[in-house]
Structures are given as structure tokens and as C-alpha cells.
Amino acid sequence: MSGPPLFEENGAMTRPNIIFIVADDLGFADLGCYGGRPAAFGPVSPHIDALAAGGLCFTQGYANAPVCSPTRFALMTLRYQYRLRGALEEPINSRSKGDPRLGLPPELPTLPSLLRDAGYHTALVGKWHLGYPPHFGPLRSGYDSYYGIMAGGVDYFTHCSSNGQHDLFEGEEPRHEVGYLTDLLSTRAVQHVQRHAADARAGKPFFLSLHYTAPHWPWETRDDAAIAPSLAANLFHLQGGNVETYRRMIHHMDEGIGQLMQALRDEGIAHDTLVVFTSDNGGERFSDNWPLVGGKMDLTEGGTRVPWVAHWPAVIAPGGVSTQHCMTMDWSTTMVELGGGQPLAAHAPDGVSLAAVLRNPAATFERPLFWRMNHRGQRALRQGDWKYLQVDGHEYLFNLAQDERERANLARVHPQRLEELRAQWLAWDATMPAIPPDASVSLGYSAKDMPQR
């Protein structure tokens, strides 16, 4: 389980501080380091691009789901989210408030609880989206401290969710602050690093989850406070937004990440801190998922393939690119392992550790990845270069090495392979609880609001 970088010559184990940064609905090609185009104001993501240049970029990394809360269940539990009733909501919405089934059960071991038990200080700054108190909440699932939002999305200025209720909390107490949410989260993260740096240097590492809501709707930049009151009735913001606004929202997050990295350097702990950056699902309406097709809610590649950047000077060589196939729960499993956490046998991870890949990006291994969605009856399996996909009852077979845009359907060319992969998917699905009839699918808009492709 451990390798050279975890042990000093004297045998003492050195464990990294860990900062896990999640963007919300950020697409595969929204960042410069993933081929994104510069905006009119300049590069969109210079600080994240610098993290990639100084660390390791994954080109074949995925989210556990193409929508928010299911991916977060997997992130927290190190397991396929389909095992939990709350994760079968696509996604959890404000109507689930008070429902004792629809959240992350506090008795389960989690990424933060396993790290806390291993001696880490654990904190969540940002979005939770795994059910509401009194039944659920970050402080009940392993975080020592919490500052952020409980819902799937809030207005960046009023900090109210779709049902109009205030949704910014310190622990479980409402917190009222003036400011643009992305900046408030960045400031908190920087303060957190400053507050815990001395402990970290003295041997008590920290685990900080920094879950931005950017660049999720509503389409507000730091300069758009004036439009916030007009959005309260519908945060989906179907009458607004554009690519330039969207890119500025990413840029504001990127600036915060730049401040965070500067704080790590100022405190002298950047070398021994693992920073991971990703998105919880594929991009939404203004996102760039090129060359992938589809987006949020889809099991085509644009809905699930997301950026994965890892930066850890003590261990990861700069400038690396990895083709390792992986998904969210693999990263959770990796972080628990690097932190010396011990998953419980009764809740054995479905995730697989990527620690060896961080040390040697050329050392890839076979990693079949499975998905399913209630929405449109979608199924997907990635196995090597091949992908089995079902949408609306239609089956497809793609060779992603030749066609990652999933336009060249090989189902009739390779019927035997299609059959094998379908059988593999069905065998996996049989190990997961079925989708109950009352599981909800929530779409914010339809073709009557904007044309589909």
C-alpha cells in the first residue's frame, strides 16, 4: 500500500496535506490545459493551467456520474453511488429536505471520516449537496468544520437556493455575509490554510475539500450583483448567460485557486501538499466539451469525462500526462490510502488507488468503469478503448481510441464485442440495487426553453 515517497529514510511516514478542489458543471475543454480557447479578456484558467504544468494531467478521467449529487456520494463513500438510495435521485433537489432517506447516512465511513480517524484535520469549504440536517450534513459525515451551501445551487450574491431559502452555513448555523460566493469560498480556503499550516508543519496534516459552485448557473460574474434580484424566481437563468460570462465565472474561481497556491507557498507547505482539481460532472449549456459529445445528464463522454489535475511537488514530476482510466471514487480511495486511512471491510471501496500512477504516470493499469442513469435508461461501460452505451433503448459501440466523439457506431461491425460488453454491464448491474419507481429525475429545462442539438 505504501511506496517510497511515503517513508523517509528514518522510517517515519510522511503524509501530504490534501486539498481536493471540485468545480461544478465544468466541462472537459473549459480549461486552457485541456485545450480550451482563451477568452476575450485573456487566458481563462492560468492558475489551474500552472498546476497542470507543474503536476500531472489525466486525459481519460471521469466523474462517477453526469450529475452533481450522485458523483458526490461516490466521492464521499469510495464506492459506486448506486448502492445508496439518496444517490438514485438525479439529482437531490430542495424537495428532498426533511426526507430521512435522501442523503448520505451519517453512520457510513467517508473520505473525510477515514482521514480524520487517521489523524487529519478535515474541512469542507463549499457545496455539500448530500442531504439536509437534521438527518444529514457534512459535520455528521466526517468533516471537523464546514462553511458552505447545502443545496445543489444558490445565487452567488443572495446565497439563496432555488426555493428562495437562505443557504450559506457555518457548521449548521445560517451565515449571512455580503459577497460573491466564489470569492467567499476562496477567502475561506486561504484562511484555512493559514490557520492550519503550523499544525501541518508540526505533523498534523489537513484535508480540505474545496467545492466551488462555479461555473454552475445562475450566470453571474463578480460584477453582476445588480441582476441577482431578478433571478430569484428561477435560478436556472434560462433567459441569460453567454460564453464570455461563463468564462469569467471560471476565471474568478481560477483566481481563488491562485491565491490558495500562493498561501501554500507562503506557509512553506506547497511541497508536501497534494492538490487535486476536477469537476463533478460534464459541462452544461455554455461549456466547451470538445471533442466530446453530450454534457451534463448524459453518459456520452461529454457528460462524464472531466479534467483531473494532480499537483504534489514532493512526489509528482512536473509536466506529466496520464492516460489512466479512472473515476471519482478512485481518487477518494487514493487520498485515503495516501493519508494512511483504513477503509472498513464492511464498506470495502469500489474505487482503486491511483497512487502508483501519481509516482509513475507511465504505469497504467486496466480499469473497467461502469455507469447507469434512470434518465433516458442510460447504461455505459468503458473497457480499454471500447465503450458500450445505451440511450433511450438504443445500443451503441464505440472505439474511443479511434473516435472519442462517439459518432462512428460499431455495434453492427462488432456484434460479438457488443454482446460481451452488454453481458459485462448486466453482470455489474446485477450487483447494484435496482432503481426504485419513486426515484426522481429533475431537469431544469427542456426543448421548449432552448433547442437541443
Q: Report in angstroms how near the CB of residue 64 gets to Ca ion at its nearest.
A: 12
Q: Tell me the backbone φ, ψ of residue 31, rounded to 5 degrees.
A: -100, 150
Distance CA 364, CA 367 (A): 9
At closest approach, how far in Å is the CB of 279 from Ca ion?
7
Site size with Ca ion, rule: CB under 5 A: 5
Q: Residue 148, SS3? A: strand
For Ca ion, which stretch binds (CB under 5 A), given 8-16, 206-214, 221-229, 279-287?
Answer: 279-287
Quick check: 213 binds Ca ion (CB under 5 A)?
no
Q: C-alpha angle with apex 372: 63 to 69, nearest 5 degrees?
A: 50
Cβ-Cβ contacts under 8 Å for 55 (sequence gap 6 or more): 275, 309, 310, 311, 312, 316, 318, 320
Closest distance to Ca ion from the beta carbon of 110 (Å): 19
Is there binding between residue 24 and Ca ion (CB under 5 A)? yes
- Distance (Å, rounded) from C-alpha 407 to C-alpha 404? 8
- Between 81 and 324, CB nearer to Ca ion: 81
By CB under 5 A, tell whether 68 contacts Ca ion: yes
298 touching Ca ion, by CB under 5 A: no
Separation between Cα atoms, residue 355 and residue 337, nearest integer Å: 8
DSSP secondary structure code for residue 370 in this structure: E
Residue number, nearest CB to Ca ion: 68
* Sole binder of Ca ion in the list 213, 281, 353, 390 (CB under 5 A): 281
Contact status, residue 395 vs residue 389, Cβ threshold 8 Å: yes
Q: Which region among 230-238, 273-281, 405-413, 437-445 touches Ca ion (by CB under 5 A)?
A: 273-281
From 25-33, 141-149, 327-335, 351-359, span contacting Ca ion (CB under 5 A):
25-33
Q: Is 366 exposed, middle or buried (0-12, 13-18, 19+ CB in 10 A)?
A: exposed
Q: How far is the CB of 413 from Ca ion (least distance, A)?
A: 35
Asked if 167 touches Ca ion (CB under 5 A), the answer is no
* Residue closer to Ca ion, measured from CB, 295 or 351: 295
Tell me phi and psi for residue 187, to 5 degrees.
-60, -45
Q: Which is nearer to Ca ion, 64 or 158 (CB)?
A: 64
Positions touching Ca ion (CB under 5 A) are 24-25, 68, 280-281
